[in-house]
Structure 1
Amino acid sequence: MYTIVRTTSENEHFRALVNELDKDLAIRDGDDHAFYAQFNKIDNLQHVVVLYEGAEAIGCGAIKAYDTGTAEVKRMFVTSTHRNKGYASAILKELENMARQLGYTKCILETGVKQPEAISLYRKNAYAIMHNYGQYEGVIDSICFCKTL
C-alpha cells in the first residue's frame, strides 16, 4: 500500500530522493552530468509529490511552469529496490492531475537516451516523442516527450 503526498521542494524526503537520483544520473550521464544538472535545480519547486510505502519515501516527482499552458515534469525517481511495481506511473498520474488542477493542458519532459527505464515509462503512459525543446534543442543524448492532458 502506498500514499502520495503533495508538497514542495522543501520536503526533506524529496530532497533525499533527489540526492539519490543525482548520484544515479552522475553515473549514467558521465561527463555530460554538469550540463544536465544545471537545468534540474530544485530550489522553490512548489508542486512536488513524494510517494511513500508505509513510512518510507520511495519515489518523487515535480512539475513547474514551462509556459502558460504547459507544465514541465521534473525530478521523477523511484528507488531501485521499489521499481517495476507501478509507483512511477502513479507519481506521473498524480503530477498530471496536479497540472490539470493548475490549469495546464499539456505536460512536457526531457529524459536521456541512457535512461531506457524512463523512456519506457513515458511511452507506457501515452507520452509522445517531440522535438527537443528549449535548452535541450540539438542535444543528441536528450529525448523530449509531451502529452496533452
Structure 2
Amino acid sequence: MMTITYEWGDSLYINITNRCTNNCTFCVRNNQEGISRGMNLWLEREPTVSEVLADIQARDIYKYREFVFCGYGEPMLRTYDIIEICRYLKSAYNMPIRINTNGHANLICGQDVTSQLAGLVDAVSISMNAKNSKEYQELCQSDYGEKSL
C-alpha cells in the first residue's frame, strides 16, 4: 500500500513523487528508516490525480489546518497535477495549501509558473541550503548545476 497522504502535526501531507532534481548529501531519503519509524514514503509508482484526491477524501479533512505537498521527492516535478489537485482542494475545502520545494519549478517547466499557482497555493517553503550557487551545488548536487540557485 502506498503512502500518498500522511499526518504530521496538524497538517495533511501529500506525497506524489519519488523523483527529485537534487541528490542532496543530507537528504532523509538516504536514511533507511525515512522520516519516522513505521512510515514508508517510497511510492511504488506516482499516484494519479484521481488516486491523490481519493486518498485525501478518505481523511477527516477538518482536523487539519493545512495541506502540504511534501514527500520523498520534489513535488513540483508534477506542477500541472499539483495545480489540478489544488483547484479541487480550494473549491472543496478552502484550507491553506503549502508546497515544500527546492525551488526548481520554473527550471522543471521551462517557464515561470508562479502565476499559475496564484490563488491556489498560500505558501511556498523553499529549501535554499547554501549561501551561493557553488556551495548549493556541492551540497545538493542539482540536475541543473549552479543555475539551480
TM-score, normalization: structure 1?
A: 0.38
- The structure with higher relative contact order (CA 8 Å, sep 6+) is 2
Q: Rg: which structure is higher?
A: 2
More strand by share: 1
